[in-house]
Chains A and B, each alone.
Chain A
Amino acid sequence: MHSSGEAPAVIVSSAVRKFADTPGGLLPLLHEIQAGLGFIPSDSVVTIASGMGLSRAEVHGVISFYHDFRDKPGGQKTIHVCRAEACQAVGSRQLEAHVKTRLGVDYGETTVDGRFTLEPVYCLGNCACGPSVRIADDVFARVDADRFDELLGDI
C-alpha cells in the first residue's frame, strides 16, 4: 500500500518536518507515515524520535500501544470484522469463523496473495444493521457468509 511512490525516507522526514512543531503531533505524524507507506518502518523510529525531541522508547511505545499502527507491511487492503456485542447479537461469531476460513488467515495476518490483512475491530458505529465489516474505508452492513463472499468477488 505504498501509494505515493516517494522513497520511504523522504515520506518520513517530510512528515516529521510537518508535525515537529505541532503540540502533541506524534499521532498525526504516525498516521501520515502509515498513510504514505502502509506501515511505520522500525528504522524510521530514530528519525521520528530526534525530529520530535523524544526518546526512541517513547516513539516505539506509542506505535506499539495503538492497534492501528503496524510496524510491518500489510496487505493491499485491510478487512476489519466487527467483534463487538451488537454484531454478536446478529451472528458475527459465525461470520468471523467464515471470514478466517475463507481468507485462510487469523487476525493480524495477511493473505498469501498479499491482497488482504484481516483485523478485528470493536465497533464501526453501524450497530443497528450488523454484522458490520469494513474493507479499506468502506463499511458494509448485514454481512453474512454469502454477502462476504460476494463482497470479496466485487473487489
Chain B
Amino acid sequence: MVKIYIPADTTACALGADKVAAEVALQAQKRGLDVELKRNGSRGAFWLEPLLEIESGEDRFAFGPVYPGDVAGLLDAGLHESSEHPLFLGRVTDIEWLSRQDRLTFSRAGVIDPLSLDEYRREGGYEGLDKALAMTAGEIVEAVTDSGLRGRGGAAFPTGIKWRTVLNTPSDQKYVTANADEGDSGTFADRLLMEADPFQLIEGMTICALAVDATQGYIYLRSEYPKALQVLNQAIAIAEAANLLGSDICGSGRDFHLQIRVGAGAYICGEETSMLESLEGKRGLVRFKPPLPAIEGLFGEPTVVNNVLTLAAVSTVLAKGAAYYQDYGSGRSRGTLSVQLSGNIRRGGLVEIPFGASLRELVEDFGGGTASGRPVRAIQVGGPLGAYLPESQWDTPLDYEAFTDVGAMLGHGGVVVFDDNVDMLEQARFAMEFCAVESCGKCTPCRIGSVRGVELIDKIGKNDGRSANLELLEALCETMDVGSLCAMGGLTPMPVRSALKHFPGDFERGTGNGIER
C-alpha cells in the first residue's frame, strides 16, 4: 500500500489539488493499486503546489507541482523514493526552500492531518497547555513576557504586557479573542495556520484564557476564508469532545468556551476595536483609545485581542520555554517572523525565519526573483498600509525597529514583489482608493482625505497643476497621518509617500521628464 498526501489547503486547491486527488483515486483504482489518500494542510511552499507526497518508512518524498494531467504518468512511472520522474523533488525535508527555514509556528503545517489530535500531540501539540495547567496565571504571563513575544498582527505590542493588564483588571467576565481578519494583501499566514494546524490556535487561546482568567473566547474570522472556517469548526468540535475545550478542561476545574464569528467583508474589522464592535454585532466603527481593550474590551469587559500567529506562538513558548523562543531573533524582535512571499514572485509562499535576515535575501534567495523574469522594481512590505521599498532599501534587516527607521513597517509580514512594469502613481492612487472603500467613516481625515487623495493623484497624473497638487498631496498625507483615529487613515499615507519619495519619475507624466506609460 502507498500512503499519499495531497493538501486540501485553499491555494493548493485553487491550483487543482482536489482534481489531483480525485485523479489519483481513479487512476489507482484502474491499475488495481492500493493507495491510502490523506489530505494534509500545505507546507506553504505554494510554488510547488499541488505537492504530492508519498510516505516511505519514516520519510516523505515529494512530487510537484502535480497537475491532474500528470497523475497517470506518475503512477505509470511508479511512486517511489528513487523515482526519476521530472516532477520528483526528493525527500521533502531536503527541499532547500523548506530546510533553510526555522519553523517553530509552522513546524506541523503540511506534515500532519489538520484534524488529527493524535498527530498534533505526536508532533508536540498540547505540551504547552499541559505545562500551563500546572502553572499559576501569573507564571504563564511571566513566561510569555520573558519570551519577548510581540503581537504579530502588525503593531508588535509586547504580548506579555497586554496579558498582564487583562489579568490585573478585576472582572467576573473576561474574553480572549483571536483576530483572524487577515485582510492585508500579500498575507496568508493566518489562513495557512488555521487550515493546516488549527489545534495550535485553539491551544494558544486556551493557554491565554488560563493566563488571564477568561472563560469565553471568540475567533473573528474573515468571510473570505471559507475553508479555514470549515477546518476550525471541526477542530473546535474535536477539542470539545476530547475535553480540551468547554467545561472543566482536562479535569482542571477551568472552563473555556470557544466560538467562531464570521466577518462580513470589511477590512477595517481587522483593527482591534472595530473587530470588537463587529463581535458585538454592530457596524465596525473604530473606538477611541483609551480605554484599552485590555481594560474595557468586548461588551465592556477586559479582553485580550491577539493575532492568530501570536496566540499560536504561545503554544511553542510554553512547550519549549521562554528562553528557547527568545533565543531566535534580532534586537528587540524576538522569535521567528512568518514572511509571506507574494505578488510577482517565482517561489512564493510562507517563509518562517528568525528576525534579522534582509529583504533582499528573502526575495532573491527564497523567492528566486520575479515570476515574470523581469527585474524587481518595488517591494511593498506590511500590507496595503505598508511602504513601497526601492532597491536602495532592500538590505534592511527584517526587524520591527529597522523597518520603522527607514519609514516602513513589517506589519503582518506580507512581502509583495512588483517587477519593472509597475506604475507607482497607480499604486499610490490605489492606496487612497482602498482607504476610501474601506474607511469606517468615523473620522474625517480618513473618510474624506482618502477621496481627496484619489482626486489629487488623478490630477497629478494628468499634469494638471502638478506642483501645487503635489504640495497639497503632501499636506493631505500629513493631515491623515496625524489626524486619523486609527492606522487605516493614519498609515495610508505610508505607501503614498514612499511611492512619491522613491519613484518620483512615475509622478511626472505629461511633463516630458517622467516615464510615459
Residues of chain B within 8 A (CB-CB) of A23 are: 280, 299
Given contacts A86-B342, A128-B47, A130-B343, contact A139 B282 (CB under 8 A): no
Given contacts A125-B225, A128-B348, contact A27 B278 (CB under 8 A): yes
Residues of chain B within 8 A (CB-CB) of A125 are: 10-11, 182, 187-188, 190-191, 224-225
Residues of chain A within 8 A (CB-CB) of B263 are: 27, 66, 68
Give A24 to B13 CA distance when docked, in angstroms. 33
Residue of A nearest to B192 (CB): A125
Q: Are B261 and A27 in contact (CB under 8 A)?
A: yes
Q: Are B279 and A30 in contact (CB under 8 A)?
A: no
Residue of A nearest to B11 (CB): A126
8 Å CB contacts to A: which residues of B200-249?
A: 223-226
Residues of A within 8 Å of B, CB-based: how many?
A: 44
Q: Are B340 and A128 in contact (CB under 8 A)?
A: yes
Q: Are B342 and A66 in contact (CB under 8 A)?
A: no
Residues of chain A within 8 A (CB-CB) of B437 are: 122
Against B, the Cβ 8 Å flags (1 = close, 0 = not) of A115-136 are: 0000001111111111010100
> Residue among B384, B416, B430 with the most chain A CB within 10 A?
B416
Q: Are A123 and B380 in contact (CB under 8 A)?
A: no
B184 on the interface (CB 8 Å rule)?
Answer: yes
CB distance from A84 to the nearest CB of B (A): 3
Residues of chain A within 8 A (CB-CB) of B223 are: 31, 68
Residues of chain B within 8 A (CB-CB) of A137 are: 226
Residues of B within 8 Å of A, CB-based: how many?
A: 61
B262 on the interface (CB 8 Å rule)?
Answer: yes
Q: Which of A80, A93, A128 contacts B345 (CB 8 A)?
A: A128
Q: Are A68 and B185 in contact (CB under 8 A)?
A: no
Q: Are A67 and B416 in contact (CB under 8 A)?
A: no
Q: Are A129 and B14 in contact (CB under 8 A)?
A: yes
CB distance from B498 to the nearest CB of A (A): 13
Residues of chain A within 8 A (CB-CB) of B278 are: 27
B281 on the interface (CB 8 Å rule)?
Answer: yes
Given contacts A84-B185, A137-B226, contact A27 B262 (CB under 8 A): yes
A-B contact pairs, 10 of them (CB 8 A): A27-B262, A27-B278, A66-B263, A84-B185, A84-B186, A123-B186, A125-B191, A130-B343, A141-B11, A141-B14
Additional A-B contact list (7), CB under 8 Å, known A65-B284, A89-B418, A121-B224: A28-B262, A61-B283, A88-B343, A122-B384, A125-B10, A125-B225, A127-B340
Chain A residues within 8 Å of B, Cβ to Cβ: 23-28, 30-31, 52, 58, 61-62, 65-69, 80, 84-90, 93, 121-130, 132, 134, 137-142
Chain B residues within 8 Å of A, Cβ to Cβ: 10-11, 13-15, 46-47, 49, 182-188, 190-191, 223-226, 261-267, 278-284, 299, 340-345, 348-349, 371-372, 380, 384, 414, 416-419, 422, 426-427, 430, 434, 437-438, 440
